[in-house]
Amino acid sequence: MENKSFYVHHSAFGAFSSFMLGKLGKGGGFVLNDVRPPKDNIFIGFKQDEKINLLPFCELDNNAEEEFTGEVDASKKEKAIKIFSEKEIQRQIGWASDTFIADKLTFSIVTPFGNIKNPLEMTQEEKKLAFAPVIFAQLTFDNRDKATDAEMIFGIEGPKRRLSITTEGTYVGAALERKYGFAAINSDEIKELSRLDILTSWANDNYQNHDLGRAPSLIFKVPKGTIKTFTIALATYQEGTITTGIDTKFYYSELFNSLEDVIAFGLQNCDYYLNLANKRDKELKESNLNEYRQFLLAHATHSYHASTQLMVNKDNLPLWIVNEGEYIMMNTFDLTVDHVFFELRFHPWTVTNSLDLFVDRYSYYDQAGLAFTHDMGVSNGFSKKEYSSYELPNLQGCFSYMTHEELLNWILTGAVYVLKTKDETWLNNNKKIFLECFESLTSRDKNCDGIMDVDSSRCENGSEITTYDSLDTSLGQARNNLYLGLKSWSAYVLLEKIFKEVGFSEHCEKAVEKALAAANKIVGQFDDKEKYIPAVFENGNTSRIIPAVEALVYPYIIGDKVSVSEDGKYGELIKKLKQHILTIMKPGICIDEVSGGWKLSSTSKNTWNSKIFLCQYVIKEILRIDFPDEENWDKVHANWQKLSCSEEGATDQVNSDTGTARGSRLYPRLVTSILWMK
């Protein structure tokens, strides 16, 4: 675990805001309604024996004073400032923390998260604890061996006002307008320092506050012979109506009146939050996952939370959004289906919240029946009813319709939710939707072989694509596609169970028929000589793809081990898929010869981490294939994130040879890695 220099999002649940930090030599800071790293200077460090020592998150130029005076002041004392180099720093990212250690300084950013009940079933106090847009930082300095007093600093360029002014001295800290800030409980050991040139003033022991300062900071005393830890709340707040198309406010804005209110609540309850974070860190540490997987899941979770946004609509009902990383599309459905494993673990009600909105506003009818849009809009703007922001007619590739894939996503997400949670009320309310979905699905299979062969009329003269929009045809084309074929099979397998639950016995049988047809079709495509199934059953395609097995996850995850077993009803399919995987997981096919990492398709360099993680789970847990290279592969994939994508945050689409980002930066989808956790 050598590289320590990479951005990480640090975010409260549902606040669509982050405190970003971690790429050494670059700044960071707060970002609201977005996930891209700001470039503000961050001052974290200590002063002892007339020398300032800082973590490498700031640049030292500060000519703020000259901008006022127009003169260079040569009399300023030379600043004795040292910036720690990478090799002097240790970094440890936990599931709910990110810690930097340099010399006697320990700095942690703590992002508590845990199970969150449906807000409709919460008390007011539970809601406040769950949805306060607050995270924490802790600074510790071990001065036990030293004979001189020390001070620590925490400051961000961006905030301008000191929080003691609006809190009448109860809290100290800094804020940018009413939007974000950080604070500690006031005490004799902490003071605010605001200066135009904060570091020069601190170096010169000038503690006079000047409210034109650009980085009001906190200064913490650590007397000689002591060790001290200080806790800071980092909070964001956005008032009023935020979205358009559907007018919504942040859920927390009905619980808290202001940034100051959030800060006060956070600091009053910081023990609760720190314990919660600690519990998550411990859980990951004790998970038996190797260090690379621990890192990948932790990194993914940080990015997922950065994209989450819990709103309240005009009827006072919660409205859940996960934004699509750098693209900021809202509730992209082909991400929802991948987030379902994480959400079912921590907050299952967000799954149905999205599914219901898809039914109510983001479904439509094409020539074949019910269908769902790719997303619900972009950048806080809900798109018009029945339309996504992404999809366009008359295209063959990127930006075409994903009608069939999204139809499968509603079925699979809904079925996994129901069959895992046994939420009968929701199932009862939606049984007709499942039925309509089934009918729509079958009518897209004209030749009755169980897999899609009809493009949506929404495509006009174009044709449908899959979620793998930027890969080549092997995964990009929807029609007669192996990946999507398996996903259709999986949908039929789950629909059988849904229909059984609601007593639609006739449809049970039909669903089984379709599942068998799909399985037979796919089995029939197996190339006995080369021992694989081609990615597309058209035009002599010979691509080898790992996501052939992706959809096995759905029956398995709801406990149907028979359907995915070699001895079950679909045994032949499972056997063939196992052979397929054994054939392709080789260097030059689906193992990249340069990096040694996984390549989703033998014919594309574009590989997606979220799907690698998911397929790793399927291959090991379901197909029971144990590759000896697993930990090496994990190391490669971890280094893609930590080295190649260090400036892009958690990144989904990378080049399989270099690991550099191709797209889907700062992305939530990598939480498929939650599947690794038992």
DSSP state of 176: E
- Euclidean distance between CA atoms 676 and 678, whole angstroms: 6
- Euclidean distance between CA atoms 42 and 24, whole angstroms: 11
Q: How far is the CB of 618 from its own copies (least distance, A)?
A: 25
- As given in the structure block, the two tokens for residue 565 are 């077993």
From 307, 383, 525, 610, residue interacting with its own copies (rule: CB under 8 A): 383
Q: Which range of residues in 78-86, 109-117, 120-128, 391-399 is near its own copies by CB under 8 A? A: 391-399
Q: Which range of residues in 109-117, 175-183, 400-408, 567-575 is near its own copies by CB under 8 A? A: 175-183
User: For the chain, how far is it from start to end, CA to CA, in angstroms?
Assistant: 24
- As given in the structure block, the two tokens for residue 529 are 């000589």
Regarding 165 and contact with its own copies (CB under 8 A), the answer is yes
Q: State the binding string over 485-524 for its own copies (x if CB under 8 A, else -).
A: ----------------------------------------
Residues 656-675 that bind its own copies (CB under 8 A): 662-663
Regarding 67 and contact with its own copies (CB under 8 A), the answer is yes
- Euclidean distance between CA atoms 348 and 343, whole angstroms: 5
Regarding 525 and contact with its own copies (CB under 8 A), the answer is no
Regarding 374 and contact with its own copies (CB under 8 A), the answer is no
Q: Which range of residues in 289-297, 324-332, 543-551, 625-633 is near its own copies by CB under 8 A? A: 324-332
What letter represents residue 590's amino acid?
C
Q: How far is the CB of 374 from its own copies (least distance, A)?
A: 11
- Residue (of 441, 461, 462) closest to 517 by Cα position: 441
Q: Which range of residues in 47-55, 96-104, 157-165, 518-526 is near its own copies by CB under 8 A? A: 157-165
Closest to its own copies by CB, 399 vs 627, is 399
From 72, 227, 398, 562, residue interacting with its own copies (rule: CB under 8 A): 398
- As given in the structure block, the two tokens for residue 107 are 């700095």
* Distances 65 to 79, 90, 204 between C-alpha atoms, Å: 15, 35, 15
Beta-ladder partners of 114: none
Q: Give Cα 522 distance to the centre of its chain.
A: 33
Closest to its own copies by CB, 212 vs 227, is 212
Closest to its own copies by CB, 94 vs 377, is 377
From 211, 593, 629, 631, residue interacting with its own copies (rule: CB under 8 A): 211
Q: How far is the CB of 17 from its own copies (least distance, A)?
A: 14
Closest to its own copies by CB, 335 vs 451, is 335
Size of the site for its own copies (CB under 8 A): 51
- Euclidean distance between CA atoms 524 and 652, whole angstroms: 32
Contacts of 31 (CB under 8 A, 6+ apart): 17, 18, 20, 37, 38
Q: Which range of residues in 182-190, 375-383, 421-429, 479-487 is near its own copies by CB under 8 A? A: 375-383
- Euclidean distance between CA atoms 206 and 222, whole angstroms: 18
Regarding 191 and contact with its own copies (CB under 8 A), the answer is no
Conformational region of residue 64, where left means phi above 0, alpha means psi within -120 to 50, and beta covers everything else: alpha
- As given in the structure block, the two tokens for residue 179 are 């939007």
Tell me which residue has tokens 């009902």.
Answer: 317
Angle value at C-alpha 389, between 383 and 391, nearest 5 degrees: 135
Angle value at C-alpha 223, between 218 and 227, nearest 5 degrees: 85
Regarding 166 and contact with its own copies (CB under 8 A), the answer is yes
Contacts 24+ apart (CB under 8 A), 521-524: 521/449, 521/450, 521/451, 521/485, 522/451, 522/482, 522/485, 522/486, 522/489, 522/573, 522/576, 523/572, 523/573, 523/576
What letter represents residue 244's amino acid?
T
Contacts of 422 (CB under 8 A, 6+ apart): none
Regarding 313 and contact with its own copies (CB under 8 A), the answer is no
- Sheet harboring 51-54: ordered strands across? 81-83, 51-54, 42-48, 150-156, 217-222, 190-193
Q: How far is the CB of 238 from its own copies (least distance, A)?
A: 9
Regarding 242 and contact with its own copies (CB under 8 A), the answer is yes
Contacts of 568 (CB under 8 A, 6+ apart): 562, 574
Regarding 393 and contact with its own copies (CB under 8 A), the answer is yes
- Phi, psi for residue 49 in degrees, rounded to 5: 50, 45
Residue 154 near residue 43, CB atoms below 8 Å: yes
From 91, 127, 161, 507, residue interacting with its own copies (rule: CB under 8 A): 161
Regarding 291 and contact with its own copies (CB under 8 A), the answer is no
Regarding 606 and contact with its own copies (CB under 8 A), the answer is yes
Regarding 72 and contact with its own copies (CB under 8 A), the answer is no
Regarding 406 and contact with its own copies (CB under 8 A), the answer is no
Q: How far is the CB of 469 from its own copies (least distance, A)?
A: 8
Q: How far is the CB of 67 from its own copies (least distance, A)?
A: 6
- Euclidean distance between CA atoms 87 and 90, whole angstroms: 8
Q: Which range of residues in 112-120, 373-381, 491-499, 642-650 is near its own copies by CB under 8 A? A: 373-381
Q: Which range of residues in 96-104, 356-364, 394-402, 532-540 is near its own copies by CB under 8 A? A: 394-402
Closest to its own copies by CB, 442 vs 473, is 473
* Distances 455 to 365, 529, 541 between C-alpha atoms, Å: 13, 32, 19
From 51, 144, 314, 384, residue interacting with its own copies (rule: CB under 8 A): 384
Regarding 38 and contact with its own copies (CB under 8 A), the answer is no
- The Cβ of residue 461 has, within 10 Å, a number of other Cβ atoms equal to 9
Regarding 377 and contact with its own copies (CB under 8 A), the answer is yes
Q: Which range of residues in 95-103, 378-386, 492-500, 593-601 is near its own copies by CB under 8 A? A: 378-386
- Euclidean distance between CA atoms 351 and 343, whole angstroms: 7
Regarding 621 and contact with its own copies (CB under 8 A), the answer is no
| Ordered alpha helix ranges (H), 444-549 | 473-476, 482-502, 505-524
Regarding 327 and contact with its own copies (CB under 8 A), the answer is yes
Q: How far is the CB of 463 from its own copies (least distance, A)?
A: 17
Q: How far is the CB of 150 from its own copies (least distance, A)?
A: 26
- As given in the structure block, the two tokens for residue 6 are 């990479």
Regarding 210 and contact with its own copies (CB under 8 A), the answer is yes
Closest to its own copies by CB, 241 vs 579, is 241
Closest to its own copies by CB, 112 vs 377, is 377
Q: How far is the CB of 426 from its own copies (least distance, A)?
A: 30
Residue 460, helix vs strand vs coil: coil
From 143, 354, 641, 653, residue interacting with its own copies (rule: CB under 8 A): 653
From 2, 61, 70, 461, residue interacting with its own copies (rule: CB under 8 A): 70
- Euclidean distance between CA atoms 115 and 128, whole angstroms: 14
Closest to its own copies by CB, 240 vs 588, is 240
Residues in contact with its own copies by the rule CB under 8 A: 33, 65, 67-71, 160-161, 165-166, 175, 177-178, 208, 210-212, 239-242, 244-245, 258, 326-327, 329, 377-381, 383-384, 387-390, 392-394, 397-399, 469-470, 606, 653, 662-663
